[in-house]
Amino acid sequence: SDDEQRTAMSGQVLLRGLFEKEFLAVGDDETAIIRHHTADYVQDVLSVNDRICPRAHDLWLEAYESDEYKNWAESNSEVKVVKKFVKDELGLDEMPGATLDCLMTTICTDRTLPPALDNYDGSLGPTPYNAFVEDGDVNDMFERIKNVAVKNFTWAYRHNDAAYSKLGMGPLWKEIMTYIRPIVDSTVTSPDGPLPKLHLISGHDTTLMPLLSSLGPDVWDGTEWSHYASMIQIEVHEIKDNTAFPSGYAFRLIYNGEALTSKMVGCPKQSDMCDSQVLLRRVMPFAKFEERNCASSKTSASSETIMDEMKTAAEDMVNEPGGIFLMVLIAVVSMALGGIITFFFIRRPSRNNRPAYHKHTSSILGDLSMRVMEAEPDGAIISAVPAIYGSTNEHGDEKKLDDREEDAII
């Protein structure tokens, strides 16, 4: 999982639901431990991360600067109705980027909605991109605004054969395929020894939607948000009678209980199973991490422009009367300020009590509450599986778990 408490707890709860009986049957002398891997949040790859791959931002911009998007955003009849409603009834010139979060967190926590939006009944459901809802058919402006906001947010995921999703989710696909390829391809060996029967990744809605988008245009249409506790399952099956599956292995793609395998290009339409080589041919070209092309042409151009502007400004200053004296004065003042700040920084009290950050934690599965125990000799922090209704703090008092944003499981 990433380094968010809610995603780690979602994974723990799922494992407890799957194996609770087995974990609780283990005695104190033989406690079941499952290794939990996290990464620094700013370096994580469970969502598209343009901090480590700037070109992803280029592709995002391309999607929203495309003629296709502009045509939809400016000419689609349903978008026009929603924009007019937002302006006339809510007093907003445009839909804010946080519209979806604002709507959903308000209604899901039973807070008061504006009267014009307080008419949600769930009868409309997701609508296609080219849909127009006749006003006489539905008065549910809450859901109409939500549908437009979802399509607007997810546009980049599917644009240009999901180029943004493929580049951004390449590292995660590489990890996933590390556990699948050695099974279905005899020429590939596992770098970490025996392969696990179950590999669990706990992420977010923004993990699942680009993953689905990268698998083909028909797998996920971008009109419905991945809801709370959504799950993608990729099953690998050995096939004894391999007439229909030449590789001898088949895979099945399941999303929230629905088999989507037949929606992938190259898979039979009448079956939930598909030859494993179809998955490899689709995913392996972009299942990359360090070898990705992440150089941003826009970032490079921007950096060169800034450097040119700084160079011109410095030359202009030197050519002005007293310019050299001013530059020397600025340098001396900067050195003095830097020395003063450094002096106070090194003289401040040490902070040896700050807990160290560890990339790996161990989850003891078998307890019914979440608690923090003494650190192991190697410095790893041990935490027990969270209770569904609460946890205990360091004094043993029970407290309610915070309600957080939606999480998702792969």
Residue with the larger pLDDT of the pair 124 and 225: 225
Yes or no: say if 382 and 403 are a contact pair by the CB < 8 Å rule. no
Q: How confident is the model at residue 155 (pLDDT cuts 50, 70, 90)?
A: very high
Strand partners for 383: 363, 372
**Residue-wise pLDDT tens digits, 384-398:** 322 222 333 444 443
Q: What is the arithmetic mean of pLDDT over 296-304?
A: 61
Q: What is the arithmetic mean of pLDDT over 72-92?
A: 91
Q: Mean pLDDT, the chain, as a whole number?
A: 79
Q: What is the pTM of this model?
A: 0.72
- State the pLDDT at residue 359: 40
**Residue-wise pLDDT tens digits, 159-190:** 999 999 999 999 999 999 999 999 998 888 87
Residue with the larger pLDDT of the pair 163 and 344: 163
- State the pLDDT at residue 123: 81
Structure tokens at 282: 């689709």
Three-state DSSP class for residue 143: helix
Burial 138-149 (b: 16+ CB within 10 A, else e): eebbbbbbbbbb
Strand partners for 211: none
